[in-house]
Every structure is written in C-alpha cells, then in structure tokens.
A and B are shown apart, each in its own frame.
Chain A
Amino acid sequence: MQVNWFKYAAPANFFPLAGKIYPWFYVFAALLAVAGMYIGFFVAPTDFQQGEAYRIIFIHVPAAWMSMFLYLVMAFYASLGFIFNTRLSSMMARAIAPTGAMFTFLALWTGSMWGRPMWGAYWVWDARLTSELILFFLYIGFMALQAAIDDPRRGDKAGGVLALVGAINVPIIYFSVKWWNTLHQGSSINLTRAPSMASIMLWGMLLMALSFWMYSIAVILSRVQCVIAERERRAAWLQHIEPHTT
C-alpha cells in the first residue's frame, strides 16, 4: 500500500482534521493541569532550602521547556517550508510563534518571581536569563517581520530565514548553565544521570509539562485554522465550510 505522506500537507485536508481534534487537547491539558497542580501544591513536600517558594518550579520549568521546544518546532516547520515549498508548513510556523512567545514570557516572569526571594534580584544579566530574553525577542521579531510583509509567501520565506538562524540560540540557552558560570542553577533533569530531585516533585513537573504540551497543541491547531481561513479565503474548498451555530 502506498502512503501519501503529503496528504495532510494540503491545507484543504488538514483544516477539517485540525478542527476535529483540537478541542480534545484542551480537555487533556485541563485534566493534566489539575493532576499536576494537585501534586505540586498539595502532595509535594516543602523544600528544605527554599521553603514554599520552590513551588514556582511547577510552572517555571515546564514553561521554559515549552519556550525552547516550540522554537525548535517552529524552525523545523520553517525548514520544511523551504525544502518542500509546502504552504502549510509556513502556516504552522506562523501559528506556533505567539504561543512560543507567551511561554517565553511566562518563563521569564516566573523566573523573576523566583529570583527575587532566592537571589535577591528580579533580574540579573546572567547567560541563561539573557539568552532566554533573546529567545523572546526572536519570537517577537519573527511575528513582526511576517506581519510587515504583505505578500504572505514572501513573508513566509523571510520569517523562515529568521526562525532558522535564530535556532542557534536554543542550544545556547540549554547549555548556558554549563558553558558559563551562571547564577541560574544547572538542570535538575538530565539525560545521562538520575534526576537530582525528589520523585514526587519530578512527577508534578512532568505532568505540568505534559499539560502545557497539550495546551500548545490545542492553541496551535486552533490558530492554524485561523491562518488557513485567512490566507485561503478565496479558495473554493473553504467556501463549503458553513459557520456552525451549535
């Protein structure tokens, strides 16, 4: 049997699929968030060094992970748009950017809320914080660049270049705590050794990360429908979609 890998690369095929599945990801996100927050705020014990302030971790780390991960996904779609010249890839990159920017902002915000009581400062120009701030500007720059170019296909190309060049920043963020002497602590979770935190805390964090993941999928699929509808509104296939009144 021959599989048509590009079937869902056509906006006309992807649009109904996205519409059908995205509400479910909101449901998954909410369920996982309830479980994660319950563990994080009711089950996990007080940290012996940081007291209750450490509970910010249940938002801070998942948000920071998503901010980096979404950028990589965005750059991946941008590169697909270059290689296969598929419209949908560039539309996905467009749909990811605002959510990525939001998670970057949340990572910075919760980080400063954690930094003030622990380090005595809301902000320091340390390598981890600075590179994360650059990530935020990359997202904003990507969105601004695409919004500034009227021809959507040219905007896709220009934004794609920015997304790909900016991807170099992600490993810099990730390894910044190793390469430089940062105030920011090293990673608690590592691929090569056991996590340096209590397993119940780890579970809370992983559940929240999964929840943010599901949230991102829901929001991005919903937004890519908007992008498709806007860009292809004159296409014949879209005329058949009736506005639901249910």
Chain B
Amino acid sequence: MHWNSLEAFFAMGGYAFFVWSSLGVTLIAMVLEIWILQSQRKQLKLPRSTVSQDHGNV
C-alpha cells in the first residue's frame, strides 16, 4: 500500500481538487449515460439489463 493514512490519500499531495474532480466527473458522466439509456429502454419496453441466460431471446 502506497499511502500512510486515509487523510493523505484524500489530500492527493495537495492536488485533491484536480484529481477527485477528474474522477468524480467521469463517474457522474458514466452513471448519467447508463441512467438515460435505462430510462430509454424502459420507455421502449426493452428487456432490463440483467446478466441472465434467457436474456433478449425472441
């Protein structure tokens, strides 16, 4: 493990804002995209995304 403490990890050597906002915005963008897509699928009455065997069979 590279970090001495939890505080050091969150501080990111003084670059916390830049590192965490990069990570945060990326996460938000991806969650948002999946969320929009899922509501679109719901609207079109497409099968929900679950990992299963009988999925999407016609």
Which of A's residues lie within 8 Å of B, judged by CB? 15-20, 22-24, 26-27, 41-46, 51-53, 55-56, 59-60, 63, 98-99, 102, 105-106, 109-110, 113-114, 116-117, 215, 219, 222-223, 225-226, 229-230, 237, 240-241, 243-244, 246
Contacts and interface: CB of A to CB of B under 8 A. Distances in A.
Interface string B31-50: 00110010011001111111
Contacts of B12: 52-53, 55
B52 to A, nearest CB: 7
Given A24-B51, A102-B29, A223-B37, A16 B56 contact: yes
Contacts, number: 115
Given A15-B56, A99-B33, A240-B58, A53 B18 contact: yes
Interface string B14-29: 1100110111011001
Given A26-B49, A219-B37, A226-B40, A110 B2 contact: no
A15 B49 contact: no
B15 to A, nearest CB: 4
B30 to A, nearest CB: 7
Contact of A222 (B21, B29, B37, B45): B37
16 contacts: A16-B58, A52-B13, A56-B18, A56-B19, A56-B22, A59-B23, A102-B33, A106-B25, A109-B26, A113-B21, A222-B49, A223-B40, A226-B41, A240-B58, A241-B58, A244-B48
Contacts of A225: 41, 46, 56
A229 B49 contact: no
Contacts of B29: 102, 105-106
B19 A237 contact: no
Nearest to A60: B22
